[in-house]
Chain A
Amino acid sequence: MPKKLTKPRPRARFYPYLIPAFYKISSYLTVLEVIHSEKEPAYVSPRCKKLNLYSEGATTLKKLHSGVTLTLRTRASDGGSSPGLKPARGAVLGGAQRPGMERGMGTFGGCPGLLQRRQDRESVGQRSRARHQMGLQGHPGGVAPPDSIWEQTGGEFECVASLEGHENEVKSVAWNAGGNLLATCSRDKSVWIWEAQPGNEYECVSVLQGHSQDVKMVRWHPTRDLLVSASYDDTIKVWAEDGDEDDWRCVQTLSSAAQGHTSTVWGVAFDSTGDRMVSCSDDLTLKVWDTHTDPTTSMGAGAGAWKHVSTISGYHERTIFSVDWSRMNGLIASASGDDAIRIFADDEEPPSTTGQPTFSQVAKKEKAHSTDVNCVRWHPTDPRLLASASDDMCVKIWELRGRSESFPNGGSANGSKDVHL
């Protein structure tokens, strides 16, 4: 094979695209996660022990600019000293600058799903933080009664179903590609799979108890009914339906024995084909897994066994909390407790010694936020756009600007403004 010309190293830079002022109203709330919800039929807000499902509204929370719709999930921040949660919730939601959202605000205000605490960082001072938050959590105001069913009227999100069953905080939710299955995971160490039934009814299909610790995240394969979960027990587990037993089972465990992570796995993401998966961890590494290499071993749902192909290390200096693999341009974005966001790309030219692919950092943004970056997500259709969420109470939307050839599908970022904080 003729040697390809080495492409110039992409020189991408970040620009905070738009910092919506209304996200900064409250000093009590920290943004935990941003969800691009354009393609989702509904989205879900995890909360302690219970999930609330919101139907798609005529308008989502806020259109930031054409093409970007953000849904926010917030939590009481560690620094918030006010016991009044109600104004805090009102503040964020009331941030929508239309009087029409007033009622919607009430709806959301009634849903405790918006309060999500994160206590399980293995950090010093965790105890005192936890105790502080417990006081906040005890606030009874506006808590929806169990089993309350909410419906959408006009341009509001309303809760249409509540899924109870987890014994502790629900950490993550994910819809499968078909939209008929919903996976959830919790600090109670279990992963649950629910099946959507007609009439906003949900049935528990399986309760999976393979993890020995807190499960941080679940994510579905982009095309197959294959579920992965990441846990505090340092492993990633792959789940698939058992052909003849009509139940789900763990088909593979990616542990440190299989060149996996050596500390809490915080997140996983698939590439556009689903042949590769990237995971991020408290061990300061990102690991790339491939199912393509060995098609002979079927590990459920027609997919092969996952193999470790690459470890990306030496970049982030603290826990990597979130990772996302762009389905538009193949770039991997990671967010960390070191306040930075980094972007990695597959080296076209793997070193001949191993034949394994390698990944290099193509961009970084130090001090992307003033403190921990909790979550990063690529835009589903615009390859330039990336959203990040942080303990600093801000959501930032980033636009990647670099040489156009670096981002084949992205084009140049003309016309975008450089807006500062």
Chain B
Amino acid sequence: MAEKWSGAVRVADLNDFIAPSQACVVNLKGQKQSEEEQQGQAKDGLVQIQARKIDFPQVRKAATDEAIKVSLHDCLACSGCITSAETVMLQQQSTDEFVQRLSSATQAVVVSLSPQSRASLATHYGITPLQAFRKLTGFLKSLGVRAVFDTSCSRDLSLLESCQEFVDRYRKAAGNSATKQGELPMLASACPGWVCYAEKTHGQHILPHISSTKSPQQVMGTLVKRHACYRLGLRPEDIYHVTIMPCYDKKLEAARDDFIFAVDPGGGTGDSGQAGPRVTEVDSVLTSGEILDLLESRGVDFAALEEAPLDLMLSSVDEAGHVYGVRGGAGGYLETNFRHAARVLFGQTVEGPLQMKTLRNADFKEVSLEVDGKRVLHFAAAYGFRNIQNLVRKIKQGKCEYQFVEIMACPAGCLNGGGQIKPRKGQTAKDLIQHLEAAYLHEVTVRDPADNPLVQELYRTWLGGPYSENARSLLHTQYHERERTVTASISNW
């Protein structure tokens, strides 16, 4: 299981002689949890873990025989280990739970499919991404899913917010020197493995640099639970929202406290006012591989399935079946930001593909814009843990010359995410990546996110403009330095 996490998450997992279960918060927080239960909170998604009978000073004897419940939030808040979270996560965000939810009459299940997972399924079955999308829609609807969207539209929103945020940071950094600190470089925030690692390990040195823009997954969560649900005639708490992602770390992201909001009983979605039910933006994340498992466990001949019509409400697909997207298997943050900044800040239109220069290895590239012989923009993409290390090192030493870095925990980016379908027998990982990269843009029309009519409409009718106050409150988030808890410290001895 541990192998599935990105390297950045895994390296934070430290336990050699005290097993995770012994160091786990369960032992210490048992009391707190049961109090919460009495108040009737946090019942949802709790998983039972039988506390072991171990002779450990923190464990009160009386408690050892009781089943103590721990939620994923506890694991994330503890930071002592990630291994404990795996068990919790497996049950809380699993295909079994998904199937169970489908049979529940109380909630409508909505699924959002990432373009990387679409490419993974298409490559595995040797069909086009559009076919994969249509067949999967058909399959999921036959199980009782209410609607299936793709996350390209939410990604366009995320990209536009990120572009505007960058311009804002750039101007601040160029202006008043008092606010310069922490504005640049801006680091992409879409990779939860990277964010998790930065929070646990680098704290205030790095966190101010991370873009506050939510990832496409969480923007989708916001869209579904705070806007689209009303258009579907549902309340936020009536929807069980599942995303399909190339990445296990996305499960950690979905479980963050920052992505739980209180529904305004009046019908709006403000955080203030009387406390309505607390709703999670994304209830469950399934990986491409887990979807394959689900298909195979049901003996579905995916390639032979009929192609169902798509839900166009929130998907970047038009009536004629054209799929729109952006370049870049890791979300296109570097490219979109670069073009936008060149245009807005320097009046330059960058034609053709970006001239990326490969540095120490294929996962570390940079691109720059020169105006009148002077380098004005200098962006980089750094994928994989070793490149993250070198970049963080530079930032901490004040030697980082980039203004924007697209950071991803996985080598080769999200197409190579830990949750993707594994290579077929005889196929090398490298081969698979090449196939995925080809499939990713196969029959996809590359379009500037700002030209997406759905996005334009959302800004007009719901959000206000990009990076407006409303958009900032709905589509941006914050990061928290995670102190090592006492439990974690003890486990390190």
Mask: chain A, 208-227; 1 = CB below 8 Å from B; 0 = not: 01000110000000000000
Task: Count A-B contacts at CB 8 Å.
Answer: 61
Mask: chain A, 155-168; 1 = CB below 8 Å from B; 0 = not: 00000000011011
> Assuming the A-B contacts A147-B396, A246-B362, are A214 and B11 also in contact, with contact meaning beta carbons closer than 8 angstroms in the complex?
no
Residue A418, interface by CB 8 Å: no
Q: Closest Cβ of chain B: how far from A420's Cβ, in Å?
A: 38
A187→B390 contact, CB < 8 A: no
Segment touching A, from B12-20, B70-78, B276-284, B313-321: B12-20
Segment touching B, from A7-15, A36-44, A199-207, A366-374: A199-207
CA distance A207 to B386 in the complex (A): 6
B386→A122 contact, CB < 8 A: no
Q: Which of B389, B430, B492, B493 contacts A165 (CB 8 A)?
A: B389
Instruction: Give the interface SS of chain B, mostly helix, strand, loop or mixed.
Output: loop
Residue A133, interface by CB 8 Å: yes
Residue B404, interface by CB 8 Å: no
B493→A190 contact, CB < 8 A: no
| Chain A residues, CB < 8 A from B104 | none
B386→A206 contact, CB < 8 A: yes
B16→A205 contact, CB < 8 A: no
A188→B11 contact, CB < 8 A: yes
Q: Closest Cβ of chain A: how far from B399's Cβ, in Å?
A: 9
Mask: chain B, 5-25; 1 = CB below 8 Å from A; 0 = not: 001001111101100000000
Residue B100, interface by CB 8 Å: no
B396→A146 contact, CB < 8 A: yes
Residue A232, interface by CB 8 Å: yes
B386→A189 contact, CB < 8 A: no
B390→A168 contact, CB < 8 A: no
B390→A167 contact, CB < 8 A: no
A209→B7 contact, CB < 8 A: yes
Q: Which of B14, B397, B489 contacts A188 (CB 8 A)?
A: B14
| Chain A residues, CB < 8 A from B10 | 209
CA distance A187 to B491 in the complex (A): 12
| Chain A residues, CB < 8 A from B411 | 247
CA distance A170 to B10 in the complex (A): 17
A204→B14 contact, CB < 8 A: no
| Chain A residues, CB < 8 A from B7 | 207, 209
CB nearest to B8 among chain A residues = A207
Q: Closest Cβ of chain B: how far from A124's Cβ, in Å?
A: 13
Most buried by B among A127, A204, A209: A204
Q: Closest Cβ of chain A: how far from B109's Cβ, in Å?
A: 36
CB nearest to A169 among chain B residues = B492
Number of interface residues of B (CB under 8 A): 24
Residue B374, interface by CB 8 Å: no
Residue B360, interface by CB 8 Å: yes
Residue A381, interface by CB 8 Å: no
B493→A130 contact, CB < 8 A: yes
CA distance A13 to B455 in the complex (A): 84
Residue B61, interface by CB 8 Å: no
A133→B396 contact, CB < 8 A: no
| Chain B residues, CB < 8 A from A126 | 17
B360→A203 contact, CB < 8 A: yes
Q: Kindly identify, within residues 115 to 173 of chain A, every residue whose CB is under 8 Å from any CB belonging to chain B.
A: 119-120, 122, 126-127, 130-131, 133-134, 146-147, 164-165, 167-168
Q: Closest Cβ of chain B: how far from A321's Cβ, in Å?
A: 17
CA distance A175 to B13 in the complex (A): 27
| Chain A residues, CB < 8 A from B389 | 165, 204, 207
| Chain B residues, CB < 8 A from A214 | 16-17
> Assuming the A-B contacts A134-B493, A247-B361, are A205 and B12 also in contact, with contact meaning beta carbons closer than 8 angstroms in the complex?
no
Q: Closest Cβ of chain B: how far from A121's Cβ, in Å?
A: 10
> Assuming the A-B contacts A203-B360, A246-B361, are A189 and B16 also in contact, with contact meaning beta carbons closer than 8 angstroms in the complex?
yes
CB nearest to A126 among chain B residues = B17
| Chain B residues, CB < 8 A from A122 | 17
A189→B390 contact, CB < 8 A: no
CA distance A371 to B12 in the complex (A): 35
> Assuming the A-B contacts A120-B17, A168-B14, are A147 and B397 also in contact, with contact meaning beta carbons closer than 8 angstroms in the complex?
yes
Residue B201, interface by CB 8 Å: yes
CA distance A206 to B363 in the complex (A): 12
A209→B390 contact, CB < 8 A: no
CA distance A204 to B13 in the complex (A): 20
| Chain A residues, CB < 8 A from B386 | 204-207, 247
User: Using a CB–CB distance below 8 Å, which chain B residues touch chain A?
Assistant: 7, 10-14, 16-17, 201, 360-362, 385-386, 389-390, 393, 396-397, 411, 430, 489, 492-493
Further contacts, 19 of them, CB under 8 A, given A214-B17, A247-B361: A119-B493, A147-B396, A165-B393, A187-B16, A187-B492, A188-B11, A190-B11, A204-B389, A206-B386, A207-B7, A207-B385, A207-B389, A209-B11, A214-B16, A245-B430, A246-B360, A246-B361, A247-B386, A247-B411
Write 30 A-B pairs (CB below 8 A) sorted by A numbering.
A120-B16, A122-B17, A127-B493, A131-B493, A146-B396, A147-B396, A147-B397, A165-B389, A165-B393, A167-B11, A167-B12, A168-B14, A187-B492, A188-B14, A189-B13, A189-B16, A190-B11, A203-B360, A203-B390, A204-B389, A204-B390, A207-B385, A209-B7, A209-B10, A214-B17, A245-B430, A246-B360, A246-B362, A247-B361, A247-B386
User: Using a CB–CB distance below 8 Å, which chain A residues touch chain B?
Assistant: 119-120, 122, 126-127, 130-131, 133-134, 146-147, 164-165, 167-168, 187-190, 203-207, 209, 213-214, 232, 245-247
State the 6 A-B residue pairs at the shortest beta-carbon distance, nearest first: A130-B493, A214-B16, A204-B389, A246-B361, A204-B386, A207-B385
